[in-house]
Chain A
Amino acid sequence: MADQNLISEAMRTTPTLLAEWKILTPMLAPLVLAAVSLMLRQKDRWQFHIAVTAALIAMIGSGLLLFDIIIDGPQSLVMSGWLAPFGIAFTADSLSAIFAFVASLVTLLIILYSPADVDKAATKSGYYTLIMMLLVGVNGSFMTGDIFNLYVWFEVMLISSFGLLILGGDKIQLDGAVKYAFLNLLGTTFFLIATGLLYGVTGTLNFADLFAKVAASEATGTLAILSVLFLFAFGIKAAAFPMYFWLPAAYHTPRVAVSAIFAGLLTKIGVYALIRIFTIVFPDGNGAAFELFGVIGGLTIIVGGLGVIAQTELRRMLAYLLMSGVGIMMIGISIHTQLSLMATVQYTVHSMLMMTGLYLLSGVIGRMAGSFEIAKIGGIVMQNHFVAIAYFGLALAAMGLPPFSGLWPKYMMIMAAFEQGYYWLIAAILTGSLLTIIGVGRASIQMIWRGGGVDTPDGQYEARGKRLEGKQLRIMMLPISIIFILTLWLGISPNTLIRQSDLAAYDLLNVEQYIEATFGTGEHE
């Protein structure tokens, strides 16, 4: 029966179990519900509930997947039963599941915030549908085991983000969107170029297959160029220096909930792709890439820190704060040890939560003060104590000070750099932190403590902003409070996250399990 053998080599012969579909829930649930919400787009009251359900299912699905992965190792599923490397594989290791879980959680919180920020017209134009599609793209990128499929998920994410960015169509939004659209389009096109050439060199697109093929390939020069091309493409996505210009040009233009989801998720996809590509496809960096990561990361931290000091607009300041964090994640990839990758994973999770919280809070502060110009905001502590406390907590988390979640990943990153003797990276991290403390601290003094705008004399209170209604404020503060509690919890008791990120870093440095999961689908029956 030669035919039968041939078929069983290319296709799985056992039926797919329902439990194996778990890996698809984080994108399937939002995808189906996004389609439903599009059909019901005239029923604007239903949209919010559909979106909450989608994010909740995605969160629970990725949470359950994470438990499975902790017990059984990476999980995989191939499309239409074509085995890897012929079929498109979805392979999730602990890194994918952690990121998908936090991304779904962040999306859920932003959806909860949205009723205060999104009007009826925007809801009818598909705000919630686009948010769900963004989550589809993000979770799909985390789960996929195929590099071309990763490109497709990037585009799903990109096109939804375009829609969200221009929703409403103000002048300022169109201006920001032009820069965002062109530079991001360039980034994904370079990703496609690199993917095409990688296929030309290795003849495969599957991550697990690429691991062996790239290691065996003799075209080391071409592969070194390709690794730099990938670094460039994902560097644009991650907003690393010097490819970051689209981020501060665009992130302050859309409504606050949209800025928050961009800040929480989009740059992290770039970082995730860098981590994935440079652990499984180019595990030894191929040439100068790892040193390059360090240089780019260090400069990103410093430039981001300087940007935090220089900016006079609250949301632009946060954009540079976000960028400075990306530098720390890139340094973790550069050092490339168990400890540093663990710190990267941990910092990414921390940054997803903290940046979302800060952007959402900037919406509250902007609403209270009637302006996003730091010089015009004042007297927040007199208007509302909770808002002031939340800002302080999240600002401390951003600076990396205890008792919030920013401390531990930064501490571990410095430890990792110390062990490997990268002293200038330590200097970059610490300088960046100092710049952040100065910038964010200065903004806090002005916005929280001073009585009013810049020229208000000391000791006087003359806030001009309008009081927020109780219900509006409650809607806005609920997700922020959840993020506040989470960052505080991760700061006081970091063990849960440390254990997970340790596992993720172990999976990244020991890819055998990932490869086994991708190729072994259906064989264990």
Chain B
Amino acid sequence: MEFYLTILVGLIFAASTYMMQSRSVIRLVLGVALLGNAVNLLIFTVGRVTRDIPPIIPADFHGTLTGIANPLPQALILTAIVIGFALFAFVLVLTYRAYESLGTDNSDEMRIAEPKKTQASKLTY
């Protein structure tokens, strides 16, 4: 199972890298979103996928449970999903606003913040 999941994670990474190469900002956004999901799946996989019982301790049980699933990766993924969702929402609005006010979704044409050509003076130091 872990083997197939690893292959899947690799494929999603490849797809997101391909998307992020694009000049179009919207593809960039999709690439970043895909990357976030690939990472979540990766954390899930490295937590070891087993067919064990859920990590819930019975009411009158005292001692160490064995053969339970690892609950930590799920907690990590949950945190990462929430954070990723917030950032994705922000980036989506940001790209939309940038598209609206800059009039382009081509990242090559987004050059307002870059320096313009200035005329050199003969008195410049």
Contacts and interface: CB of A to CB of B under 8 A. Distances in A.
B69 to A, nearest CB: 14
Contact of A178 (B25, B47, B76, B86): B25
Given A178-B25, A196-B39, A200-B47, A6 B64 contact: yes
Most buried by B among A2, A171, A249, A313: A171
Interface string A330-344: 000000000000000
A152 interface: yes
A39 to B, nearest CB: 20
A375 B102 CA distance: 27
A125 interface: no
Contacts of A177: 94, 98
Contacts of A179: 110, 113
Contacts of A193: 39, 42
Nearest to A453: B121
Nearest to A446: B125
B95 A178 contact: yes
Interface string A161-199: 010001001011011111101100110010011001101
Given A152-B83, A189-B32, A199-B46, A162 B90 contact: yes
Given A159-B86, A176-B113, A316-B115, A445 B125 contact: yes
B51 interface: no
Interface string B76-103: 1001100100110011001101100110
Given A175-B102, A175-B110, A313 B115 contact: yes
A181 B115 contact: no
B59 interface: no
B87 to A, nearest CB: 6
A152 B42 contact: no
A200 B39 CA distance: 13
Contacts of A181: 90-91, 94
Interface residues of B, number: 43
A192 B113 CA distance: 30
A480 B86 CA distance: 36
Given A181-B91, A197-B46, A375 B118 contact: yes
A249 B46 CA distance: 36
A249 B79 CA distance: 30
Contacts of A169: 97, 101
Contact of A311 (B79, B95, B115): B115
Nearest to A375: B118
A234 interface: no
Contacts of B112: 171-172, 175
B39 A2 contact: no
Interface residues of A, number: 47
A23 interface: no
A252 interface: yes
Nearest to B111: A175
Nearest to A155: B83
A133 to B, nearest CB: 13
Contacts of B91: 181-182, 185
B110 A178 contact: yes
A482 to B, nearest CB: 31
Nearest to B64: A6
Given A177-B98, A182-B91, A252 B36 contact: no
B78 to A, nearest CB: 12
A253 B94 CA distance: 15
B32 A373 contact: no
Nearest to B76: A148
Interface string B33-45: 0011001001101
A79 interface: no
Contacts of A3: 62-63
Contacts of A182: 28, 32, 91
A106 interface: no
A2 B110 contact: no
Given A174-B97, A182-B91, A196 B43 contact: yes
A442 interface: yes
Contact of B87 (A155, A250, A373): A155
A455 interface: yes
B76 A196 contact: yes
A197 B42 contact: yes
Interface of B: 20, 25, 28, 32, 35-36, 39, 42-43, 45-47, 62-64, 72-73, 76, 79-80, 83, 86-87, 90-91, 94-95, 97-98, 101-102, 107, 110-115, 118, 121, 123-125
18 contacts: A155-B83, A155-B87, A166-B97, A169-B101, A174-B102, A175-B111, A177-B94, A178-B25, A178-B107, A179-B110, A181-B94, A196-B43, A196-B76, A199-B43, A199-B46, A199-B47, A253-B113, A454-B123
Given A152-B79, A189-B32, A375-B118, 17 more contacts: A3-B62, A148-B76, A158-B87, A159-B90, A162-B94, A166-B94, A172-B113, A174-B98, A175-B111, A176-B113, A178-B94, A178-B110, A182-B91, A186-B35, A196-B76, A197-B42, A312-B118
